[in-house]
Chains A and B, each alone.
Chain A
Amino acid sequence: MLSQLRSLWEVLKHTFVKADTIEYPEQRRELFPRYRGRIILTRDPDGEERCVACNLCAVVCPPDCIALQKTEDENGRWYPEFFRINFSRCILCGLCEEACPTHAIQLTPDFDMGEYDRQNMVYEKQHLLIDGTGKYHDYNFYRIAGMAIGGKTKGQAENEKPPVDVKTLLP
């Protein structure tokens, strides 16, 4: 009983405590780089598209709001032919970023994405792709993956031996 009265009193005391509310949009607070806001597609340190169209972000997305299609350039490098996020469905959970093996898809601290027309919430690749590396500066998936792409043949990835010569009998 006493504790109930005490609660009442403690709560009442807050009448004289200043509110913590930050009055967005007049006031804005500094957000951490890992804040989960608007999603971007980044480029690798060489300026190429990072996304390899593996579809992992799409499959992990709880509201299924990512759709893309894989295609290849003439040298066998995978990239998305189209990449679409329906932000009117996105719950900004960040699972896509966690699933992405290439650091291509990243969430940013920009969250004011309100639109009067819902159709404008549909972002295509040209709206998503930025010119930089985003939060992760050095990673380049294709430098590690053992796949030949333009400018890199077999054996030139990190930690690779040159291709085997099958015709040799030497051990």
Chain B
Amino acid sequence: MKPALGDATDIIGILASVIIVAAMLIWVERRLLALWQDRLGPNRVGPLGLMQVMADMIKMFFKEDWIPPFADRWVFVLAPCIVFITMLTGFAVIPFAPGVGIIDFNFGLLYFLALTSLSVYSIVLAGYASNNKYALLGGLRGAAQTVSYEVFMGISIMGVVMLSGSFNLREIVEAQRDGWFIGPQFLGFLIFLIAVVAESRRAPLDLPEAEQELVAGFHTEYSGMKFGMFFVGEYLGITLSSAIIVTLFFGGWLGPWLPPLVWFCLKTAIGIIFFILLRGALPRPRYDQLMTFGWKFLLPAGLLNLLATGAVVLALHG
């Protein structure tokens, strides 16, 4: 099948709404965290504090966009762009609903994996270019963490691929008409979930920034709009991750009564809220714990899941 490209309005619409959603997530996250911590969160700027994002943005724009004299200038500027762009292009393969999406091609899933791994460059480069020991440590942690968890992420979704027989995300969704993969692939789902959190460097697995240990890790030296790009990049990452989880394990746009796009958005929203809940509730593991857990537990478990799925698929269809 030839890759099909959505039309221009689709592309612009999707990108715009994704960015707006990511930006609004800043407000959503603060409000939700506040809710769970028995506070109110931002509620002053605009109705319900919704304009907080605008206010923050204005502030960010007017902040001095400072590049430390000791930094590697170009790399320093490049790093936040990378995360922003990779995350954004990741959305290209997301099947929002039948007929809604930017591109539809056979290796959608691989494309997603490739882009998430690319995004780690942004962390490594930021850490290197800042020429600051905390930033460098953050960058190193980021690199090691991403490289490790990518392995488990890849392995964990192989079960899904086996069951659906395709790397095409739309076909994977279609394959779930008879039942979401969350059921047969529960173990795979868990591993994928953890790996995705690690990949997007969200709390509790935000070791590259780890404020309590590394000041602000790889973005210690960043301020103004460049910091803003990292920030929005992170929320893009959450949105992208939720969308993928929904696609792979929760039947994508499938659902009764409501239009498919609404189902997709709803499910993605719940995914996002879950991400925020994770941040609100769980403490950060130590760095060595994270690595040990990955290699000693997730890897065998992933392989087990792969073997078992393979066996079952063989038994049923072979």
Contacts and interface: CB of A to CB of B under 8 A. Distances in A.
Bound pair (A, B): yes
Interface of A: 4, 7-8, 10-12, 14-15, 17-21, 23
Contact of B36 (A4, A15, A18, A21): A15
In the A-B complex, list the 8 residue pairs whose CB atoms are closest, starting with the nearest: A11-B281, A21-B40, A7-B281, A14-B36, A8-B281, A11-B36, A19-B40, A20-B38
12 contacts: A7-B281, A11-B280, A14-B36, A14-B37, A14-B38, A15-B36, A18-B38, A19-B39, A20-B38, A21-B38, A21-B39, A21-B40
A8 B279 CA distance: 9
A23 B35 contact: no
Contacts, number: 34
A21 to B, nearest CB: 4
A3 B286 CA distance: 17
Given A7-B281, A12-B277, 8 more contacts: A8-B277, A10-B281, A11-B277, A11-B280, A17-B38, A20-B38, A20-B39, A21-B38
A14 B39 contact: no
A10 B280 CA distance: 11
Interface band, chain B = 10 to 19
Contacts of A11: 36, 277, 280-281
Contact of A14 (B35, B278, B282): B35
Contacts of A17: 38
A4 B39 contact: no
B34 interface: yes
B34 A4 contact: no
A157 to B, nearest CB: 54
A146 B19 CA distance: 74
Chain A interface mostly helix, strand, loop or mixed?
Answer: helix
B218 to A, nearest CB: 26
Contacts of A18: 38
A10 B277 CA distance: 11
A20 B39 CA distance: 6
A85 to B, nearest CB: 29
A17 B35 CA distance: 8
Interface string B86-115: 000000000000000000000000000000
A23 B40 contact: yes
A15 B38 CA distance: 8
Contacts of A12: 36, 277, 281
Interface in B160-209: none
A8 B34 contact: no
A115 B35 CA distance: 31
Contacts of B39: 19-21
B281 A19 contact: no
A19 B38 contact: yes
A62 to B, nearest CB: 22
B94 to A, nearest CB: 26
A145 B77 CA distance: 66
Nearest to A23: B40
Contacts of B280: 11
B35 A15 contact: yes
A148 B36 CA distance: 64
A23 B43 CA distance: 10
A4 B37 contact: no
Contact of A8 (B37, B40, B278): B278
A19 B39 CA distance: 5
B77 to A, nearest CB: 33
Contacts of B36: 11-12, 14-15
Contacts of A19: 34-35, 38-40
Interface in B32-55: 34-40
A48 to B, nearest CB: 46
A148 B214 CA distance: 59
Name, among A10, A14, A23, the residue most crowded by chain B CB atoms within 10 Å (CB to CB): A14
Contacts of B278: 8
Contacts of B277: 8, 11-12
